Structure 1
Amino acid sequence: MTPRDVLKPWALARAVFAAALVWVLTAAPASAVPMQRPDAVLSSADVGRALSGRLAAGQALQYTADLPVGHVVQGSFAGVDASLDLEDADGRHLRRLENPGGGGRDWMWVVPADPVRLVVRARAASTFRLTVTRVLAPAASPVVPVVDPVVPESPRLRALMRHLDRGGSTEPFWRGIRRQGTPLVEPLSATESLVTFLWRGARDNVRLFGGPSGDHAALHRLGESDLWWVSFRMADTARLSYRLAPDVPRIQGTPRDQRRVILATAQRDPFNPRVFPAFPPAPLDAFQGDSVLELPQAPPQPWIRRRPGVQSGVLLHERLTSKVLGNERDVWIYRPAGAAPRALLVWFDAHEYLTKVHVPTIIDNLLADGLIPPVAVVLVGNPSSQARARELPPNAAFTRFLAKEFMPWLQTRGLDLPAPRTVIGGSSYGGLAAAQAGLALPHRFGNVLSLSGSYWWSPDGEPSGWVMRQYAAAPKRDVRFYLDAGQYERSRAGTAGILETNRRLAGVLRDKGYDVTQVEHEAGHDYFHWQGSLGCGLVALLNPARAARGLVACRAEEGASR
């Protein structure tokens, strides 16, 4: 396989985005329906079928939505250089559903009463594939709004309640909120604050997506006013991203379906100007990106932004075909500037770690600070969201792919480093896959860097914690670990939580004699946190002597230990 693009260091800042947005589609599957007309109708008959086509540069194709009003549409879109937008009948933009090369993630939206259309636009000649996977019907019984009797702890809200009881309005309060921004933060002590998330004007309900509860917390309505709120006592070291979802529809489906349907209305906080990730020059609509909160004592993240004068490495994009898995995927290879690699990082979920988190920039800055040796990075993409859910949880086929295809392929590119200097890592399912690789292939991967690893996972029918049982039963491997999890990832509703299962895995590993660094932070399942913790993990694994002296950016919560 030959390289596609070698990017000079001076172009890296622009190239990280350009490379991340490359998504080369293979031939449409047998179920795909090639579109020949300039316009088409998208109806319930198209559910489950892939609508594919090819557009010239600047060309657009619209699908008028002929779908039941009030139903929730779930689907995915992938295009080499094409985007997917939701517009009204007059062409006014409503919502960006997918950016060019966005990775085929699922999206949801509620069919409105007024006509709408899906519009595919190609900024360069591009193939595309659009799939509506499901159309979820509303629940038989509608949501009945109730006046919530919960009394807020917030002094500001209590004062507002008294003002309303005297016949006042919420308008002066909202004028102040527009000036100061949200969330509302009221100090409780030198180390703790009361944080209140606010929404104005919902009809039936509001949910918090990404907050401290980790459970899509419901906001309370303040009397019969237009104000909805929910408050949390939070340590001043907290950092998180979040969205607010007004009027989440009730649907016919499983509890998991109902939980996921929050994505249909989740959007940024309109009173919070801070957006993650950055969208130059600005997001197209309220549904792009997340709002963010950083309390005053949150650890700094010194490596996440480009610095003037720091030399950039070289980024290379390739496609890797797997006979074992029967698919192909994007792979990006980063090589440090001015030095041969003395270590290797293999990292899963490439698209997110080139768009939401800028891994090449993090590595450039860590090298400039002298915190890690020259390291090459291999960012491994997912063929689709469905393939990710199938491949990253432990399975024999993916292990064979890593052993028989992926690592030999890297060897042909001069990236054959000893296991003690090779790190494999990722977040969520990526952390789980990294731990499994360390167990199955310790002669290849001598270090595991896991951010919020999904160690609750087990095959169907088995109790949670499959990977920790395998480590407990197997002879000790020569593998070192860095495990990071958030305080907001605790168990809920009787399910195993990421925080608890990370603690359990750390205990199993220590009992077996493994070298484990286990840290916890006031954060959730969140790229906004992971962009800082990735660098801390690399220093701990590749330069443990420096990590042992302490770094302000890598300060963990009290109780987390090595």
Structure 2
Amino acid sequence: MPFTPHAHDAGPAGPARAGQTPGPLIEPSPTPGRHRVTFRWRAGSADERAVVLINTLTDRDRHAGDIGGHVMSRVPGTDLLQLTYELDADLRASYQILPCTEIPGTDRDSWLRVMMTALPDPGNPLRVPGSHGRNPSSLLELPGAPAQPYRDRRPGVPEGRVHEAEAAGRRVWVYTPPGHDAGADPAVPSGTRPVASPGAYPVMVLLDGDVWAGRIAPTMDNLIAEGRIPPTVVLLPDAVDRPTRLREMACHEPFVRHLAGELMPWAARGWRVTDDPALTVVAGQSFGGLTASYAAFVAPERFGNVLSQSGSYWWSDEDPEWLTRRYERSPRLPVRFHVEVGRQEWMLLEENRRFAETLAAKGYEVTLAEYNGGHDPACWLGGLAGGLTSLAAGWL
């Protein structure tokens, strides 16, 4: 069924009328371990309706063909729409609200339009940046959600820098820690300096750099200042666009060869990063998690640590869990893993567990972390800090 979105100001202040409605109302539930969460939206017209889009939870029902349980009801005699859920007390999730005059269909095309149209909650100041052209989301953190102590910038903590550059024809952002000494001009041509130098920095390659370039610095600064990790450089290659991302992050060997054979030597020459795989992490989320694991499979001599979050280990449709079987059938490689997945990720949870179990059975050093949340950047930033801390424990 087609739907007609309503136009609203999605700016920081939101529409003036919506400012009268605060963010979600969170109350204890009679059910142990749960909370009642009421979302509210002030309608701009008599025919306006609204749908609550909680990351992964709403999408699960969309896949089942029925989002009726996420449609707000009007409080009689008012312009207020609201909907109450009973949710686990440790849930963390991003969410949006879709104002509309007709409830959208659950087919893929309709849902793609929903994702490009839905808005953050104007009554909730906590935001999660959007990606790939989408609006920001709002952040819901229930009282029992695990702390994310490294997420936000702390006053007085020395700040690193994020530089924008180009490596082998691709845009890349580079986070350098406070006091970083590159020891060379990033523009030095290839072949004029050795690939490694004494005292080189540990390095993390964080895929989908266009998503993370504006978010990673406070986390890295805080981890370094607290002594959880040594000063570390982060390389953030651009995913370019959606078609390129879908091609390159589906166990695409040419992309991995680019990372190992072009990006890493470029960074060693210009940013003084190590060539030691034991001090190198490749990290990613969703298809990026799959690609990080594939990169270590193809180039273990360059990538000795994998940080995978919500990895798409179901891939591919023609040959499900292809990479898991490749690891199972191949000799153990000198690679360590931190695998993280949300318990609400009904399409990925078991696949991530099987991947971690397969690695453990082969003798790999692997940790598996699960959180109460979905396929969600609101969870990934905190998990990224935890995973990097775990992998870097022996670097200090």
- Please indicate the TM-score interval, normalised by the length of the shorter structure: 0.7 to 0.9
The alpha carbon displacement at 1:222 in A equals 4.1
- Residues 1:179 and 1:455: Cα distance change in structure 2 (over 3 Å): same
Aligned 1:143-162 pairs, distance under 5 A: none
The alpha carbon displacement at 1:229 in A equals 4.9
- How many pairs align? 357
Q: Secondary structure at the match of 1:351?
A: helix
| Contact 1:221–1:227, Cα closer than 8 Å, also in 2 | no
Q: Which residue of 1 aligns with 2:115?
A: 263
Q: C-alpha separation between the residues in 2 aligned to 1:305 and 1:445?
A: 28
Pick one of 173, 177, 188 that aligns with 2:30. Answer: 188
Structure exhibiting the larger radius of gyration computed from Cα positions: 1
Q: Which residue of 2 aligns with 1:54?
A: none
Gaps of 5+ in 2: 12-16, 181-198
Q: C-alpha separation between the residues in 1 aligned to 2:374 and 2:267?
A: 33
Q: Which residue of 2 aligns with 1:10?
A: none
- Residues 1:183 and 1:269: Cα distance change in structure 2 (over 3 Å): farther
Q: C-alpha separation between the residues in 2 aligned to 1:536 and 1:214?
A: 27
Task: Give the alignment's TM-score, normalised by structure 2.
Answer: 0.79
| Contact 1:220–1:228, Cα closer than 8 Å, also in 2 | no
Matched, 1:320 2:167: yes
Matched, 1:473 2:329: yes
Pick one of 390, 401, 404 that aligns with 2:258. Answer: 401
Q: Which residue of 2 aligns with 1:376?
A: 233
Q: C-alpha separation between the residues in 2 aligned to 1:545 and 1:445?
A: 15
| Contact 2:3–2:101, Cα closer than 8 Å, also in 1 | no
Q: C-alpha separation between the residues in 1 aligned to 2:156 and 2:313?
A: 40
Q: C-alpha separation between the residues in 2 aligned to 1:489 and 1:293?
A: 17
Q: Quick one: which amino acid aligns to residue 343 of structure 1?
A: P
Task: Give the alignment's TM-score, normalised by structure 1.
Answer: 0.57
Q: Which residue of 2 aligns with 1:66?
A: none
- Residues 1:452 and 1:445: Cα distance change in structure 2 (over 3 Å): same
The alpha carbon displacement at 1:381 in A equals 1.0
Q: Which residue of 1 aligns with 2:141?
A: 294
| Contact 1:184–1:197, Cα closer than 8 Å, also in 2 | no
Q: Which residue of 2 aligns with 1:535?
A: 385
Matched, 1:502 2:352: yes
| Contact 1:345–1:376, Cα closer than 8 Å, also in 2 | yes
Q: C-alpha separation between the residues in 1 aligned to 2:3 and 2:33?
A: 45
- Residues 1:479 and 1:384: Cα distance change in structure 2 (over 3 Å): same
Structure with the higher strand share, 1 or 2: 1
Query: Higher relative contact order by CA 8 Å / sep ≥ 6: 1 or 2?
Result: 2
The alpha carbon displacement at 1:479 in A equals 0.7
Q: Which residue of 1 aligns with 2:189?
A: none
Aligned 1:89-238 pairs, distance under 5 A: 178=20, 181-189=23-31, 191-201=33-43, 203=48, 206-210=51-55, 212-215=57-60, 216=62, 217-218=67-68, 219-220=70-71, 222=73, 225=76, 229-238=82-91
Q: Deviations over 1:143-193 (max 9, x none)?
A: xxxxxxxxxxxxxxxxxxxxxxxxxxxxxxx99x95663144343355321
Q: Deviations over 1:82-104 (max 9, x none)?
A: xxxxx9xxxxx9668xxxxxxxx
Aligned 1:423-462 pairs, distance under 5 A: 423-458=281-316, 460-462=317-319
The alpha carbon displacement at 1:231 in A equals 4.2
- Bigger mean CA offset, 448-457 vs 200-209: 200-209
- Bigger mean CA offset, 300-309 vs 385-394: 300-309
Aligned 1:355-370 pairs, distance under 5 A: 355=214, 358-370=215-227
Q: Tell me how large the CA RMSD over aligned residues is.
A: 3.3
Pick one of 298, 303, 326 that aligns with 2:150. Answer: 303
Q: Secondary structure at the match of 1:454?
A: coil
The alpha carbon displacement at 1:417 in A equals 2.6
- Residues 1:245 and 1:507: Cα distance change in structure 2 (over 3 Å): same
